């Protein structure tokens, strides 16, 4: 039993990467169902399994690995502290349970029980990490991002609880259901995921260049915009309060300004990386910077009710936006962070895998966007499902290739890639 609890951060990350592969395979399977009927597989059940597993077994699990490692100033090869190791096992167990339960029965007794258990695991992690963070000798500006991410994770659960209440009380108002779902997604995507990644990045930059800092005012303002920007998801509702609309405009503009400030200062520090073998990290993080900027641009456009209705009320566009955040902004950042901190070895095969992943992700985003715009304009985009299936297969294959690349010894080449 003790040996099972002495797994390294790197080993746990490889498990999380396998989970990411499973998420991608589920995505490809759903795309395949649009082309070939598979009566014994329910599409809605696959979708629930795909999304829940992506959140808990890939992104949240990876953050549960990286946050304690950075806080404790450890290396990828170090063993995960026992309390966090137990939480990772529990998270993996509930995640796999949800994957099976949602695939077989959708939202039903076992999947709801396992989802509730998963929430309890996340609360236990928040409590443990909060306690360790409070005692850590870190500058307050680093702690700030971590605290905001943890608070966001806890707050997002309110959306889940309200959705359970609506289902239990048999209230079928689609707008309330949508509001609850988007509340959960907003505080997961734009809160827990985004601010946790920002915390890791800021922590990394401070280790790289100790004098690097971002004014507290920028941090507090950036964090404060998280709450009002939730209303972007429902600004197109009839009877939306005018005062909230003006608050939204202010929040969106402020958020964009804060992001530009953070990006500008971060680039100045990242110039230190020039001339070092970090080609993969640079490529990945440039893609992330573009993706996050595009996300804020879309948020800015969605302040217009008609465009908000398109982005959040029209399913294909909502899927494109959610994939932009999860695949481009979050997943590529985490993989880049893993390369930078030696969770993954930089090999020629790994470089090919990352290029394939970037092509697959970009192709997926472009096709989803075209499909959404085409549907909105009643324009038939021929072979969109076929191309989306190919993009999802390419993403799955690239992740598999990345895992395979870690089985071979690295060999240096002229590009700085090994």
Least confident of 137-146, 189-198, 297-306: 297-306
Distances (CA, A) of 353 to 18, 244, 396, 398: 14, 45, 10, 5
In a domain, 303, yes or no: no
Q: How far apart are alpha carbons 265 and 267 in whole angstroms?
A: 6
Write the pLDDT tens digit of every residue in 213-240: 778 888 888 888 899 888 887 766 666 7
In a domain, 65, yes or no: yes
In a domain, 72, yes or no: yes
Q: Binning pLDDT at 50, 70 and 90, where does residue 309 land?
A: low
pLDDT value of residue 300: 76
Domain count within the chain: 1
pLDDT value of residue 184: 93
Token pair for residue 174? 């689609």
Least confident of 30-34, 84-88, 106-110, 152-156: 106-110
pLDDT value of residue 279: 74
pLDDT value of residue 407: 86
Question: Cβ neighbours of residue 202 under 8 Å, at least 6 residues apart?
Answer: 141, 142, 145, 214
Question: Cβ neighbours of residue 342 under 8 Å, at least 6 residues apart?
Answer: 10, 75, 76, 77
pTM of the model: 0.91
In a domain, 307, yes or no: no
Token pair for residue 163? 């959705």
In a domain, 392, yes or no: no
Residues 225/186, Cβ–Cβ less than 8 Å = no
Residues 255/299, Cβ–Cβ less than 8 Å = yes
What mean pLDDT comes out for the span 59-79?
Answer: 95
pLDDT value of residue 302: 72
In a domain, 59, yes or no: yes
Greater model confidence, 273 or 244: 244
What mean pLDDT comes out for the span 181-206?
Answer: 92
Residue 166 predicted with pLDDT over 50: yes
In a domain, 17, yes or no: yes
Greater model confidence, 410 or 298: 298
Distances (CA, A) of 3 to 58, 65, 394: 24, 18, 36
Residue 416 predicted with pLDDT over 50: no
What mean pLDDT comes out for the span 210-215?
Answer: 78
pLDDT value of residue 265: 74
The chain-wide mean pLDDT, for the chain, equals 86
Greater model confidence, 382 or 250: 250
Look up the CATH number of the domain holding residue 23.
1.20.120
pLDDT value of residue 404: 96
- Choose from 176-190, 235-249, 394-408 the range with maximum mean pLDDT: 394-408
Q: Give residue 18's domain range.
A: 1-137
Write the pLDDT tens digit of every residue in 273-289: 544 445 788 889 889 98
- Choose from 25-39, 51-65, 273-287 the range with maximum mean pLDDT: 51-65
SS3 308: helix
pLDDT value of residue 412: 44
Residue 25 predicted with pLDDT over 70: yes
In a domain, 385, yes or no: no
Greater model confidence, 370 or 338: 338
SS3 content of the chain, % helix, strand, coil (to 5): 80, 0, 20
Find, among 68, 72, 313, 18, the residue nearest to 179 by Cα.
Answer: 313
Find, among 195, 263, 203, 161, the residue nearest to 59 by Cα.
Answer: 195
């Amino acid at each position: 039993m003790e040996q099972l609890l002495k797994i390294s951060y790197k080993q746990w990350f490889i498990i999380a990467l396998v989970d990411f592969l499973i998420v991608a395979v589920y995505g490809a399977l759903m795309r395949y169902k649009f082309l070939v009927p598979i009566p014994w597989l329910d599409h809605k059940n696959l979708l629930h399994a795909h999304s829940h597993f992506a959140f808990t077994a890939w992104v949240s699990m990876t953050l549960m690995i990286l946050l304690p490692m950075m806080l404790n100033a450890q290396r990828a090869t170090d063993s995960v502290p026992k309390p966090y190791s137990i939480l990772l096992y529990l998270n993996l167990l509930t995640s796999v349970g949800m994957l099976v339960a949602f695939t077989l029965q959708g939202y039903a007794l076992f999947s709801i029980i396992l989802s509730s258990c998963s929430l309890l695991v996340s609360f236990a992690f928040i409590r443990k990490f909060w306690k360790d963070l409070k005692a850590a000798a870190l500058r307050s500006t680093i702690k700030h991002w971590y605290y905001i991410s943890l608070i966001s994770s806890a707050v997002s659960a309110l959306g889940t609880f309200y959705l359970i209440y609506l289902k239990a009380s048999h209230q079928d108002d689609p707008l309330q259901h949508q509001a609850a779902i988007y509340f959960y997604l907003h505080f997961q995507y734009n809160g827990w995921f985004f601010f946790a990644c920002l915390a890791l990045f800021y922590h990394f930059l401070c280790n790289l260049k100790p004098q690097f800092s971002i004014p507290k005012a920028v941090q507090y303002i950036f964090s404060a915009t998280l709450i009002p920007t939730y209303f972007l998801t429902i600004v197109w509702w009839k009877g939306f309060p005018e005062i909230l609309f003006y608050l939204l405009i202010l929040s969106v503009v402020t958020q964009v300004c804060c992001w530009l400030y953070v990006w500008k200062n971060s680039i100045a520090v990242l110039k230190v990386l020039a001339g070092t073998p970090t080609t993969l990290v640079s490529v990945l993080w440039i893609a992330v910077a573009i993706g996050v900027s595009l996300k804020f641009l879309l948020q800015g456009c969605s302040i217009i009710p008609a465009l908000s209705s398109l982005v959040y009320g029209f399913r294909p566009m909502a899927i494109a936006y959610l994939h932009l955040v999860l695949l481009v902004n979050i997943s590529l950042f985490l993989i880049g962070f893993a390369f930078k901190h030696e969770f993954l070895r930089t090999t020629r095969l790994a470089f090919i895998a990352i290029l394939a992943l970037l092509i697959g992700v970009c192709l997926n985003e472009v096709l989803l966007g075209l499909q959404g715009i085409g549907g909105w304009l009643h324009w038939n985009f021929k072979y969109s499902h076929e191309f989306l299936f190919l993009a999802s297969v390419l993403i799955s294959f690239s992740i598999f290739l990345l895992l395979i690349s870690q089985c071979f010894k690295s060999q240096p080449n002229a590009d700085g890639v090994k």
